Each structure stands twice: as structure tokens, then as C-alpha cells.
Amino acid sequence: MRSLLKRLRSVQSDEGLGIIEVIAAFAVFSVIAVGMAYALLSMTRLSSDQTSRETATNLAAQQIDKIQTMTDPTAITSGPLPSVTIGTVTYDIQVNVGWVPASGNAGRCGTGGGALLYKRVNVEVTWDGMYLQNPVRADTAIAPGTRINDPDAGTIVVSITGAIDGSPTPATTVTITPDAGGGGEALTAAVPATDADGCTFALKVKPGKYSITISRTGYVSSDNQIAGTQKLAQNVVAGTTLPLIFQYDNAATFVPKYAANSTRNPAIASNMQVTFVGTASRTETTPVASEKLYPKPNGYSAVPGAYNTCLNVNPGNWVGNATLADGVASPTVSAVPGGGADLPIALGVVNVTTPAANSYITAVHKTSAASNGDPGCAKADTVAYTFTTLIPTKGTVVPIALPYGKWQIYTGTTVGALTSAPTLLAIADGVVGVDPATNTLITGLPGAGTVTGSTVVLDPRATK
């Protein structure tokens, strides 16, 4: 009996070890199989990628051969070429070029300094599903077949880029003309429009003083010129290259929203001055419906009134005191090239009661010294805002919107007449509040200014 029990125990023990061994062996086999499968897959992908790279190398070499047959380096520009499909793989080809001047600093369009020597050309080929991320590259240098630098003349190199990422601005008209009495001469050939790299060149330019005009429909320069002529800061000198770099982009359309901080739909003066404040500001003397501006990323704010002579028209210039908070500037708004945005303009609003029938309202900006946080207005009685809507009935209450500061209100039987002083009611709106989450004006806040007879001080500060 003891011998039988011993044998049974031995069998049971052997069966348990067999199952564990099988499981362990299966696990080891799975790891080895997965590793082998991954290795085979990697080898297959590497082999396929190597085949694709060989094809891409041939495509890049073919493109380099085509470029080397071109006799005019100025005709070689950056940009994508048509894709090529071979088998089931589609190859994308990108050409990148740039002039290399005598300085060796290959700036955009050869603006690195010195005479233009040759054009550096790089061809890159990529395709979907690349196993190795580096594109296939081929490079060459193309020198002009004839002399482009005249020792008795100069060269003008123009580079034009956009606002957002400095990308090239192609197809832009460039005109270069000699200044009267500056020693220069009219160019013998028209300057070509900018190429795909945003570049153009004026060759064999007689030494002297010149002006340049840049224009393209719908585009605006970084100094907010739709199409303007400017004198070159430097003269063209014999045997040298003059590099010129400009920013020019598709204009953004800004729509001013006058008295955006008011809910009362007040009257706006027919000659309301507005300055669009940015890197390059622009002032308008009438309340424009829209304004096309350079689409700089940090945007614009709008300030109404005599911006250059009265500091208090800008609510952001007012400083708080014991009872009032600091003034808040109107929000800054940006728009993408070719896009648009509303531009809120904060104004104070006061209710005017006409003293006679058939009246027109006029408001005159008054001088005021800087005091108690009011930045003041240095020049008096030079701005008169006229409201051209006839008020037919005596005693009509008319809300009018004005820039911040001190104003004398008049009425008369003709537009702009300073005949009589009307009755002013309480200020309707005036405080500028900005929602920090959305950078928009908060509307309907009561004014913090004062009314004395027919004189009103519009104060943009909120009460603490």
C-alpha cells in the first residue's frame, strides 16, 4: 500500500510540472515569435523605404539636371513641383533657392550684402509613409551665364514678406524711379513683379537717388500704405548691391464700433476723428465704416478725438485716485491677412435737451489742465464736432457720443452754429470696462464725469 501511494504521488507531481512547463514554453515561444515578426516587418519596411529612397534620389537628380540647363538664375524660384506617382507611391518635390552674395551671407533674395554671385538650389523629395523621416536632398549652385554686376552701375535687391510668419509675398508690383536732381536715370527695363520667393531685382542701375513704389490690389504695407512711394534711405552706388526689405500683406478689414460701451445708440459726430493705434497708426477725420490695415499679429486699438493734442481722449491715460479706478483702454483687436474684425471704440455719452425747434448740436473740445488723474487737453477750441441730424422739436432729449475730456455743447439753426447753450441731463454712459476673459467692452456703465450747465466732463473711470 505504501508503495502504491508513493507511485501515485509521483505521477501527480509529474503531471503538475508538465502543465507549468508547457505554459512557460508557450510564453517564451510567443516572445520569440513577436520579436521575429517585428524584425521581419522592420526589414520589409526598411527594404521598401530603401527602394523609395532610390527612386526619390533619381527624381531629385532629374530635377537638378533640369535646373542646371536654365540659363537665367532669376527664373529659378522656390516652391513645390507637381507630385510624381510611381507604382503605389506618390513623391512630393520641393525646390528651395536663394542668392548668395559676395559676403557669403545668404539672406532672403540675396540681401545678405555684396554683389550677387550665384544661386544656391536645394531639392527635397518626400513621400507618404516614410520610414526614416529625413527627406532625400540634392543641391547645386547656378551661376549666371552673363555678368549681372556692372562696375559702373549698382543693383537693387527687393525682398517682400508677409505679416504673420515672414512668408514670401509674390506677384507684387515694384516700380523704381529716379528722384529729380538725384543723379539717377530711368531704368532701361521694368522691374519684374516679385517671384515665388517674394524677390525681384533691378540690374545695372545708374548711381544716384531713387524712390520705390510697391503695390498689389488688396494689399497694404507695414506702415499702412495701400500703395505708396517712398524715397530710398540709401543711394545706389556703383559696383554695389542695395538690399531693400519690406513687409506687405493682404489687408485686414476692421469695422469700427463707435460708443461700443453704450447701449443707447447715441448720435455720432459727422467729423469724428479716429486714430487706429498700432505699430503704424492711421488717423481718419470722418467716422469711417471700415478700415483696411496691415494685419500685424498684436492688432490695433482705436482712440477717438484729437489724439495728438488731447491726452484725455484716450481712456487708458486716466489715472485713478481715492475714489476712482484707473481708466481702461479700449481693447486691442487683431485679424488675419484678408480677414476682418470689429474694433470697439469707447466714448462717453451725454443726453442733450434741445432748447429750440429745428436745432443742430455742436460740441467743442475745451482745454483742461492735467489734474487729479485727468491727463488734460493742451489745445483748446480747435476741435468742433458737428451732429448733422436736424432736431425738429423743442425739448427733445438726444444722446450724443463724444471722446473723453471737457466739452462745451451748443445748438443752432445751421450745422456747426454756436448760437445757444442747451440743457444737459445726466451722463448716460461713460465708464470703460473690459471683460478680461474676452477682451471686449462691458456696456451700459454709468458715466463718472460731471455736468455744469452746458459743459460736460466725460470721465472714463469707474467708481471704486
Comparing CA positions, the residue from 157, 139, 140 lying closest to residue 148 is: 157
- Judge whether 157 and 199 are in contact, CB under 8 Å: yes
Kindly tell me if the per-residue pLDDT of 280 is higher than 80.
no
CA nearest to 275, candidates 259, 262, 261, 291: 291
The per-residue pLDDT for 374 is 94
pLDDT at 7: 47
Whether 29 shows a pLDDT value over 80: the answer reads no
Q: Which of 27-41, 49-63, 443-457 shows the lowest mean pLDDT across its residues?
A: 27-41
Neighbours of 247 (CB within 10 A): 17
**Position 207 pLDDT exceeds 90:** yes
Strand partners, 304: 274
* Least confident span in 106-110, 183-187, 189-193, 429-433: 106-110
Q: Which residue has the cell 552706388?
A: 237
3-state secondary structure of 123: strand
Q: What is the pLDDT of residue 108?
A: 73
Q: What is the DSSP letter of 315?
A: G
Give the full edge-to-edge strand order of the sheet including 282-284.
Answer: 282-284, 274-277, 301-304
Dist. CA 110–CA 245, nearest whole Å:
11
d(CA 132, CA 52): 11
Confidence band, pLDDT 50/70/90 cuts, at residue 117: confident
Banded pLDDT at 11 (limits 50, 70, 90): very low
pLDDT score at 399: 96
Average pLDDT over residues 430-457: 88
Does residue 4 have a pLDDT over 80? Answer: no
Residue 400 has pLDDT above 90, yes or no: yes
For residues 223 and 4, give the distance between their C-alpha atoms in angstroms, rounded to a whole number: 106
Q: Supply the pLDDT for residue 18.
A: 67
pLDDT at residue number 35: 63
CATH level 2 (architecture), domain 154-249: Sandwich (2.60)
Cβ distance 164 to 222 under 8 Å? no
Closest CA to 251 of 293, 280, 289, 302: 293
Cross-strand pairs, 317: none
pLDDT tier, 383 (very low <50, low <70, confident <90, very high otherwise): confident
Tell me which range, 24-28, 305-309, 361-365, is most confidently predicted by mean pLDDT.
Answer: 361-365
Indicate the burial class of 123 (C-beta count within 10 angstroms; 0-12, 13-18, 19 or more).
Answer: buried
Residue 262 pLDDT grade (very low, low, confident, very high; cuts 50, 70, 90): very high
The pLDDT assigned to 277 comes to 87
Say how far apart CA 25 and CA 16 lie, in whole Å.
15
Beta strands in 223-271 (DSSP E): 228-231, 241-250, 252-258
CA 102 – CA 114 distance, rounded (Å)? 5
Select the more confidently predicted residue: 310 or 32. Answer: 310
Mean pLDDT rounded to a whole number for the chain: 85
Cα angle 385, 367, 256 (rounded to 5 degrees) comes to 40
Q: Is residue 5's pLDDT more than 80?
A: no
Lookup: cell for 212: 520705390
What pLDDT shows up at residue 378?
85
pLDDT band at 69 (very low <50, low <70, confident <90, very high): confident
- What pLDDT sits at residue 130? 81
Q: What is the largest CA-CA distance in the chain?
A: 136
Q: What phi and psi, each to the nearest 5 degrees, are found at residue 263?
A: -105, 10
Tens of pLDDT, residue by residue over 218-250, are 999 888 888 777 888 889 999 888 889 899 999
2-11, 335-344, 450-459: range with lowest mean pLDDT? 2-11
Mean pLDDT check: name the lowest of 24-28, 155-159, 304-308, 435-439: 24-28
Those residues whose C-beta lies under 8 Å from the C-beta of residue 403, and which sit 6 or more positions away, are 303, 304, 305, 306, 310, 313, 347, 348, 365, 458
How many helical (H) and strand (E) elements, i.e. helices and strands, does the chain have?
1, 27
78-82, 318-322, 343-347, 351-355: least confident range: 78-82
pLDDT at 8 (0 to 100): 43
Confidence (pLDDT) at 99: 78
With CA atoms as reference, report the closest residue to 330 among 276, 271, 268: 276
Average of pLDDT values for 304-308? 82
What is the pairing mode between strands 340-345 and 252-258?
Answer: parallel
Strands 241-250 and 154-161: parallel
**55-84 mean pLDDT:** 85
pLDDT score for 73: 76
User: Over 90: is that where the pLDDT of 205 sits?
Assistant: yes
> In this structure, are residues 133 and 52 in contact, taking their beta carbons and an 8 Å threshold?
no
Q: What are the domain boundaries of the chain?
A: 73-142, 154-249, 254-458
Rounded CA separation 230/249 (Å): 17
pLDDT at res. 47: 63
Backbone Cα Rg of the chain: 37
- Does residue 158 carry a pLDDT above 50? yes
| CA–CA separation, 263 and 399 (whole Å) | 11
Assess whether pLDDT exceeds 60 at residue 80: yes
What pLDDT is attached to residue 266?
Answer: 96
